[in-house]
Amino acid sequence: MTLDMFIFVFSAIVAVFGATMMISQRNPVAAVLYLIVSLVAQAVLYVQLGSVFMGAVLIIVYAGAILVLFVFVIMMLNLRGKEDLGDNSPPISRATKYIISMLMVAEFVFIVHGSVFSGPGGGMLEAETVAGFGSVEGIAKLLFTRYLYPFELTSILLLSAVVGAVVMAKRREIHEQSDSGSVSIDNDSNEGVK
């Protein structure tokens, strides 16, 4: 087993483990922390694929900003994992849900397996990458040339998201104005993404 393979297997296991733990937590704060674990492992995979910048962005934006926003909201609503979430769904319903999601994964795996290995290079990654692959410069070039309009449109999307969030969380009594305050923080984090 090469080092490369070892890093991949380790990161993949951690990512899947983090995701699995996340969905099985009752306490939302714990769930957020497990999601961060999974994200960090994914960032390692990004770096392994040569996307150093995107790996960094993933950690900074997701782990650093968006999930912090989640934590803010959880704390603001004062959730401790002991809230009444009602009765469990009937077993048949739960079983159905497990089965269909697993079925979906199985189908995806089948399709990926069948299509990728018949693709160019037998599905193996080329050793050499184009110059500047995954670099800031390369991404910037793309975003300001070919993807200029979508890129500019994201600014409108973010703006409307900011407005929407403020409007929705506002219209409250005075003690809830802190809500919009937290929303404005998440706007700042969006700016960070940009």
Partner 1 sequence: MSDYLILIPLFPLIGFLLNGLLIGRLSRPVVSTIACASVFASFVTALLSFIELTNMPASARLIEQTLFAWIPVGELNIEFGLLVDPLSAIMILVVTGVGFLIHVYSTGYMSHDKGFGRYFAYLNLFTFSMLTLVLADNFLLMFVGWEGVGLCSYLLIGFWFERKSATDAGKKAFIVNRIGDFGFLIGMFIIFWQVQSLDFAEVMARAPHAFIAGGTLVTTACLLLFVGATGKSAQIPLFVWLPDAMEGPTPVSALIHAATMVTAGVYMIARTSTLFMMAPDALMVIAIIGAATAFFAATIGLAQNDIKRVLAYSTVSQLGYMFLACGVAAFSAGVFHLMTHAFFKALLFLGSGSVIHAMSDEQDMTKMGGLKKYLPITYWTFLLATLAISGIPFFSGFFSKDEILWKSYSSLYGHPIFWVIGVVTAGMTAFYMFRLVYMTFHGKERMDDKTRKKIHESPRSMTVPLMILAVLSVVGGYVGMPHIFGVTNYFEEWLSPVLAGHEPPTHALASTSGGGAGTEMLLMALSVLLVLIAIYTARLFYNKKPELATALRGKLTGVHKTLQNKYYIDEIYTAVVVHPLIIVSIGLWKVVDVIFIDGFINTLALLYDGISQLFRHAQTGRVRSYVTVFVIGVVGILGWLVMR
Partner 2 sequence: MVPISAYLIVAVVLFGIGTMGVLISRNIIVLFMCVELMLNAANLALIAFSRSLNIMDGHAFVFLVLTVAAAEAAVGLAMVITIYNNRESINIDRFNILKW
- Other C-beta atoms closer than 10 Å to the C-beta of 43 total 23
What residues between 2 and 21 interact with partner 2 by CB under 8 A?
Answer: 4-5, 8, 12, 15-16, 19-20
Q: Does 193 engage in binding with partner 2 (CB under 8 A)? A: yes
What are the two backbone dihedrals, phi and then psi, of residue 27, each rounded to the nearest 5 degrees? Answer: -85, 120
| CA-closest candidate to residue 142, choices 54, 67, 46, 27 | 54
The listed partner (partner 1, partner 2, none) that binds 113, CB under 5 to 8 Å by sort, is: partner 2
Q: Can you tell me which of 48, 56, 59, 64 binds partner 2, judged by CB under 8 A? A: 48
The listed partner (partner 1, partner 2, none) that binds 73, CB under 5 to 8 Å by sort, is: partner 2
Q: How many residues bind partner 2 (CB under 8 A)?
A: 99
**Nearest approach, Cβ of 172 to partner 2 (angstroms)?**
7
The listed partner (partner 2, partner 1, none) that binds 129, CB under 5 to 8 Å by sort, is: partner 2
63 in Cβ contact with 39 (< 8 Å): yes
**DSSP letter string, 116-166:** HTTSGGGGPPPS---TTTT-HHHHHHHHHTTTHHHHHHHHHHHHHHHHHHH
**Nearest approach, Cβ of 107 to partner 1 (angstroms)?**
4
**Nearest approach, Cβ of 174 to partner 2 (angstroms)?**
13
What residues between 97 and 116 interact with partner 1 by CB under 8 A?
Answer: 97, 100-101, 103-104, 107-108, 110-111
Residue 29's Cβ-side half-sphere holds a number of Cα atoms within 13 Å equal to: 11
Token look-up 């160019």 returns 120
Distance CA 57, CA 136 (A): 11
Tally the residues of the chain: 194
Q: Does 147 engage in binding with partner 2 (CB under 8 A)? A: yes
The listed partner (partner 1, partner 2, none) that binds 116, CB under 5 to 8 Å by sort, is: partner 2
Q: How many residues bind partner 1 (CB under 8 A)?
A: 10
